[in-house]
């Protein structure tokens, strides 16, 4: 409960401020808003050294979420303004995924030798030089819309809402699968909790090339069709995983799951860039990150509850069948 509440509070603040960050990125210089996010993150992580109770830690993490919420909405919009091709979105997302992989591998030894407070400070240190570089940067993107350029045409609010609903449903199911994958590895695979935690690594190993390849494909094919194909591949992939195949096969299909479910983000960026005006693009990306934060709050809780209810009914059916 305590661990879940930490994530819920962080995700709630992240969701709200992602939307706000997208609006600010459209209204002011994106580089300045990004620099604020990085510098604010670097400044607030040391507050963990002053937190000595559970609720103080929650409060500090909520403040930290404000700075972290700036990066993706404003950064993705900035990529679309300056470059905007699928390969650029793919590189942007893939490098972030590689960063997650590296820090996941480094996190356990860092925490073991340095403790979680000092480790948190080390994780925040790169934000300081990046924030200063962005703050001192004199470069600023010019927002010039061209009604003749299909890349800058706006498809309307209804199309955008429909896209959000579809992606929200897709992320809703995917978040549940990712959240309970370590539990699946323990209960079904018989692995120790420490080894089961590394299951998510194989998802990110598949996600990095997935983002890059799908981003490149988005320059030649419809991003919506790519998203549809990836979503369809996910269905049999999850089904095969539930059959408890050999461990090497599980690792392979976890990579496929990461390739398809997380690789969607690159073509998603391309579609949003084409479907929105440059002057409102930050709001569009902020809305998507806000939706992600909302799903992070609801999905694991709801599917966990359903798992308990369905398990109880299954046990009851088995009990009745015996008689």
Q: What is the pLDDT of residues 94-104, one digit of tens each?
A: 888 888 888 87
Beta carbons within 8 Å of 4's beta carbon, 6+ residues apart = 300, 301
Domain presence at residue 101 = yes
68-81: per-residue pLDDT in tens?
Answer: 988 888 888 888 87
- Kindly report the CATH number assigned to the domain that includes residue 69: 1.20.1250.20
Domain presence at residue 167 = yes
Q: From 255, 250, 251, 257, select the one nearest 236 (Cα to Cα).
A: 257
The pLDDT of residue 194 is: 65
Average pLDDT, integer, range 139-168: 63
Domain presence at residue 323 = no
Beta carbons within 8 Å of 140's beta carbon, 6+ residues apart = 29, 30, 31
CA 13/CA 164 separation, integer angstroms: 20
Average pLDDT, integer, range 39-54: 88
CA 165/CA 276 separation, integer angstroms: 17
CB atoms within 10 A of CB 281: 29
Domain presence at residue 141 = no
Structurally, the chain folds into a number of domains equal to 1
Round the CA-based radius of gyration of the chain to a whole number and report it.
21
Q: From 310, 219, 194, select the one nearest 270 (Cα to Cα).
A: 219
CA 186/CA 195 separation, integer angstroms: 9
CA 308/CA 220 separation, integer angstroms: 45
Which has the higher per-residue pLDDT, 51 or 257? 257
188-235: per-residue pLDDT in tens?
Answer: 777 777 677 777 888 889 999 999 999 999 989 999 999 999 999 999
Domain presence at residue 93 = yes
Of 72-81, 89-98, 251-260, the range with the lowest mean pLDDT is 72-81
278-296: per-residue pLDDT in tens?
Answer: 777 888 888 888 888 788 7
The pLDDT of residue 145 is: 44
Average pLDDT, integer, range 122-132: 87
Domain presence at residue 322 = no
The pLDDT of residue 289 is: 84
pLDDT tops 90 at residue 7? no
Q: What is each CA distance from 212 to 91, 172, 260, in whole angstroms?
A: 6, 23, 12
- Number of C-alpha atoms within 13 angstroms, CB side, residue 276? 27
Q: What is each CA distance from 12 to 61, 180, 220, 296, in whole angstroms?
A: 11, 20, 37, 9
Domain presence at residue 320 = no
CA 82/CA 141 separation, integer angstroms: 7
Q: Do 174 and 223 touch, CB atoms closer than 8 A? A: no
The pLDDT of residue 260 is: 93
The pLDDT of residue 139 is: 59
Which of 61-70, 76-85, 144-153, 182-191: highest mean pLDDT? Answer: 61-70
pTM of full prediction above 0.85: no
Average pLDDT, integer, range 159-181: 85
Nearest 5°: CA angle at 42, between 113 and 58?
75
Domain carrying residue 106: 2-136+147-315
The encoded tokens of residue 86 equal: 């699928």
Q: Residue 110, exposed/middle/buried by CB under 10 A (0-12, 13-18, 19+)?
A: middle
pLDDT tops 70 at residue 149? no
Beta carbons within 8 Å of 81's beta carbon, 6+ residues apart = 30, 141, 143, 278, 281
Q: What is each CA distance from 140 to 100, 127, 264, in whole angstroms?
A: 29, 20, 29
Kindly state the percentage of the chain with pLDDT values over 70: 88
Torsion angles phi and psi, residue 183, rounded to 5:
-65, -40
Q: From 191, 271, 192, 198, select the one nearest 228 (Cα to Cα).
A: 271
CA 92/CA 85 separation, integer angstroms: 11
């Amino acid at each position: 409960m305590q661990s879940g509440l930490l994530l819920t509070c962080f995700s709630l603040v992240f969701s709200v401020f992602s939307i706000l960050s997208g609006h600010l990125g459209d209204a002011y210089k994106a580089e300045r808003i990004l620099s604020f996010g990085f510098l604010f993150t670097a400044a607030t992580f040391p507050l963990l050294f002053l937190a000595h109770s559970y609720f103080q830690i929650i409060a500090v993490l909520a403040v930290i979420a404000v700075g972290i919420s700036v990066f993706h909405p404003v950064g993705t919009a900035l990529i679309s303004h300056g470059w905007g091709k699928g390969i650029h979105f793919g590189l942007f997302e893939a490098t972030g995924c590689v960063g997650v992989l590296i820090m996941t591998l480094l996190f356990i030894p860092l925490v073991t030798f340095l403790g979680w407070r000092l480790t948190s400070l080390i994780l925040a240190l790169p934000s300081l030089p990046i924030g200063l570089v962005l703050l001192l940067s004199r470069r600023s993107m010019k927002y010039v819309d061209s009604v003749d350029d299909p890349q800058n045409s706006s498809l309307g609010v209804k199309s955008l809402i429909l896209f959000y609903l579809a992606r929200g449903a897709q992320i809703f199911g995917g978040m549940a699968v990712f959240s309970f994958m370590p539990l699946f590895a323990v209960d079904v695979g018989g692995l120790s909790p420490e080894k089961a935690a590394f299951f998510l690594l194989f998802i990110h190993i598949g996600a990095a090339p997935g983002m890059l390849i799908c981003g490149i494909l988005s320059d030649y094919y419809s991003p919506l069709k790519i998203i549809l194909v990836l979503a369809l591949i996910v269905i049999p992939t999850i089904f095969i995983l539930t059959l408890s195949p050999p461990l090497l096969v599980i690792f392979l299909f976890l990579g496929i799951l990461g390739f398809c479910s997380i690789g969607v983000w690159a073509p998603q960026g391309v579609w949003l860039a084409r479907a929105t005006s440059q002057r409102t693009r930050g709001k569009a990306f902020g809305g998507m990150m806000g939706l992600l934060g909302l799903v992070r709050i609801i999905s694991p809780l709801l599917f966990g509850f359903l798992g308990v209810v369905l398990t109880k009914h299954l046990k009851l059916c088995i009990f009745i069948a015996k008689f």
